[in-house]
Structure 1
Amino acid sequence: MRGSLFAFLGGAFITLQGVANSRISQDIGTWQAATITQLTGFIMALLILIFVRDGKWQKLKQVKPLYLTGGAFGAVIIFSNITAIHRIGVTLTISALLIAQLSLTFIIDSKGWFGVAKMKMRLPQFIGIGMMIAGVVILRF
């Protein structure tokens, strides 16, 4: 239950961030908005880290260097979301984003990439993705 709550909150905040970034970018530019978002996100994460103090920094050397680039994806995510919101609106942007996320996670789960447990994708999962795509097509018209 708690995981679902965090997933719901994350989804809501992704949407709010996209809308806020879109508005900021209209005034100062897309890459400037992405920079401000990354900076404020870093500051917030740093403050939370200082407050929580879980002491797991010693394990940083165990993390594969490839995975340490994950934060850099944020710049591309922000730029892509801002640009998409400007061109197709918030609803279609978030819908396409969800389809892209689910499609890639299906591939990751079915191949067992990144150390996740390999899972077999069944017909209901493919039907679900197909229904989402059909929903976006319907939204578009």
Structure 2
Amino acid sequence: MDTIANSLRDRQVDLVIGPEARGFVIGSALAYALHAGFVLARKPGKLPCETLKYEYGLEYGSDVLEIHKDAIKPGQKVVIVDDLLATGGTALATIKLVEQAGGEVVGVRFAIELCSEFDGRAPLKGYDVQSVMQY
């Protein structure tokens, strides 16, 4: 966690967002390390209040991510963190949700990147993407 947190110390991060489900574990620890708030990006129907939704394509279909409509305020600096970067689809959907809410994505971080099989960075071009380990 220190490696990821240290890469973001100069960003003045307001919020960390983690996609369901392993992003919750990494994201909450990172938010604690950065003294930032934490936002859950969940599958449809799991959040109790009004939500923003983003549907995204998968290799064999589609999926939807949601966040609470009031979770991110316009102008807040947000970091997205997840355990694994493969195709980049979930990360891109999370980016779109942050931007839909008016937040600014200041970093996208992963514990592991599967770069030998996938080019998950391609859909994330233009964003600051880093991973701790690459396979």
Q: Under TM normalisation by the shorter chain, which class is it?
A: under 0.3
**Which structure is larger by alpha-carbon Rg, 1 or 2?**
1
Comparing both structures, which one devotes a greater share of its residues to strand?
Answer: 2
